[in-house]
Amino acid sequence: MTLQASSSATGIRSIVSYLGGAGVALLALVLALEPDVGFTAPFVWMALFWALQIGVGLAALQCALFLITRVDRVQQLPLWVVVIASGIAGSIFLSPIYWLIGEGLMEQVLGFPVRVDADGAVEVSLTFGIPAILDEFIDIVGPVTAAWALISWPRLQRLVPPLLNTLRAKSAESDPLITSSPEQNGALLEPAWRVALPSELGGELIAVGSELQYLRVWTTRGSALVLGALQQVEKSEGPDGIRTHRSWWVNARHIIRVRGKGDGTVCELSNGLEVPVSRRRKADMLERFGTTASYNSTSVAIASPLPASDQNIRRKPS
């Protein structure tokens, strides 16, 4: 397994593990509260119903969040807006699925009776179609979005300070009476993914790999997983680094050499990482570094950015 595949697998496992734990906790909560779902069924069938709702729901919401964070313009929005947008988008996708699980499977296929309210009235289920899906969406969009925001919040807490810093920076720009030193301005404008890095890792980057909507960041002191996009790293770090692959960015000062490995090409870094080099970037990387580059050599200059045509490639998980 290559480093890239191993790193991506680690990121996916961490997301699945977190969502799995959140799903189990949510399942236990709804089974204890027994919310009204419109029909009555034995406990085992209710557990199956909620397990299907929660499992499919978390998968759909995570996919919605991933797809939304791939849009460049969305990356500039506050995180709470992104989370709410993914909750609403996920609810649109889930509406027909939830109808099929509830009214379709539980009521019509398995024949569980519709619950009667206190006045003795029985709610009439709509036939599957646009009106039924729209009615389902209206019912679920609020609870689904609220639950998704609560589930996502622990993963986003480290990224709240950058939002406050951005607001303060905008306030300082609009108010001529607010003055600050260049150091303070730099801190205010520091990108969100940088602020999210643990302070004990320092600021000297070696490499950054993309894992879904997260970044695996390696520094001279260790590594951490933070929310962000590789394009943000390119923009904030400027000419200090190189995009070797659609899923990798490296600091040019830490490149030891570029060499072939199997059918591909890798970039050896100062911390032992071997980062993949894409075919379209292979010639450029070999020309700049080849087998003679060394991060300890003072003769190695910071590489100029890759051509614009190479920089603006859409990122997809490898």
pLDDT in tens, 240-271: 888 888 889 999 899 998 888 888 889 999 99
Identify whether residues 141 and 233 lie together within a single domain.
no
Instruction: Examine residue 133 and state whether it is found in any structural domain, yes or no.
Output: yes
The answer to whether 225 and 214 have CB atoms below 8 angstroms apart is yes
With both helix axes pointing from N to C terminus, report the angle between 79-99 and 160-174 in degrees, rounded to the nearest 10: 130
Distance CA(46)–CA(110), nearest Å, equals 12
Distance CA(204)–CA(9), nearest Å, equals 25
Identify whether residues 150 and 210 lie together within a single domain.
no
pLDDT digits 0-9 by tens, 118-150 = 555 555 566 778 888 998 999 999 999 999 988
Residue 146: what pLDDT?
Answer: 92
To the nearest whole number, what is the mean pLDDT of the chain?
A: 76
Closest to 269 in 3D by CA, of 287, 284, 285, 283: 285
Whether the per-residue pLDDT at 11 is higher than 60: the answer is no
Identify whether residues 13 and 153 lie together within a single domain.
yes
Instruction: Examine residue 316 and state whether it is found in any structural domain, yes or no.
Output: no
Give the chain's radius of gyration (CA, Å). 25
Distance CA(115)–CA(124), nearest Å, equals 11
The structural domain count of the chain equals: 2
Identify whether residues 139 and 214 lie together within a single domain.
no
- Which residue segment(s) compose the domain that 302 sits in? 191-311
Residue 157: what pLDDT?
Answer: 46
Q: If you write DSSP's letter for every residue of 177-196 in order, what string do you get?
A: T----HHHHHHHT--HHHHT
Identify whether residues 141 and 282 lie together within a single domain.
no
Amino acid at the residue 229 = A
Helix, strand or coil, per DSSP, at residue 198: coil
Instruction: Examine residue 318 and state whether it is found in any structural domain, yes or no.
Output: no
Closest to 57 in 3D by CA, of 129, 141, 169: 141
Residue 77: what pLDDT?
Answer: 67
Facing residues of 205 across strands?
Answer: 219
Produce one character per residue of 182-194: b if its CB has 16 or more CB atoms within 10 Å, e if not: eeeeeebebbbbb
Identify whether residues 102 and 206 lie together within a single domain.
no
Instruction: Examine residue 219 and state whether it is found in any structural domain, yes or no.
Output: yes
- pTM > 0.85: no
Backbone angles phi, psi at 205, to 5 degrees: -80, 150
Instruction: Examine residue 173 and state whether it is found in any structural domain, yes or no.
Output: no
Whether the per-residue pLDDT at 203 is higher than 70: the answer is yes
Mean pLDDT in residue range 235-244? 86
Residue 117: what pLDDT?
Answer: 60
pLDDT band at 293 (very low <50, low <70, confident <90, very high): low
Distance CA(205)–CA(187), nearest Å, equals 17
Distance CA(14)–CA(312), nearest Å, equals 28
The distance of Cα 7 from the centroid of its chain, to the nearest Å, equals 15
pLDDT digits 0-9 by tens, 45-89 = 999 999 999 999 999 998 988 888 777 666 566 777 888 999 999
Instruction: Examine residue 186 and state whether it is found in any structural domain, yes or no.
Output: no
Residue 177: what pLDDT?
Answer: 42
Facing residues of 73 across strands?
Answer: none
